[in-house]
Amino acid sequence: MIASAPDPVVTSSELAEALDMSQQGAYNRLSSLEENGFVRSRKVGASARVWWITDTGRSELPPLGN
């Protein structure tokens, strides 16, 4: 979902809504992906965090079909 998002970054709330899961579940999954180098994050503002896919994460995506 992050790789195909129209914006370069997503929030855990946006991901949770798109995948019909809890915000905490999305945050936990994103944190795990970050630990493995597939995504990165940065805190913006007082409490928001944005996430984006890394080159490593992009290399793990299946090839796009024609």
One-letter amino acid of 1: M
pLDDT in tens, the chain (66 residues): 888 888 889 999 999 999 999 999 999 999 999 999 999 999 998 888 999 999 999 999 887 665
Range list of β-strands (E), 1-66: 39-44, 48-53
Token pair belonging to 50? 């944005």
Q: Which of 36, 33, 6 is nearest to 18 (CA)?
A: 6
Q: What is the model's pLDDT at position 51?
A: 96
pTM for this structure?
0.84
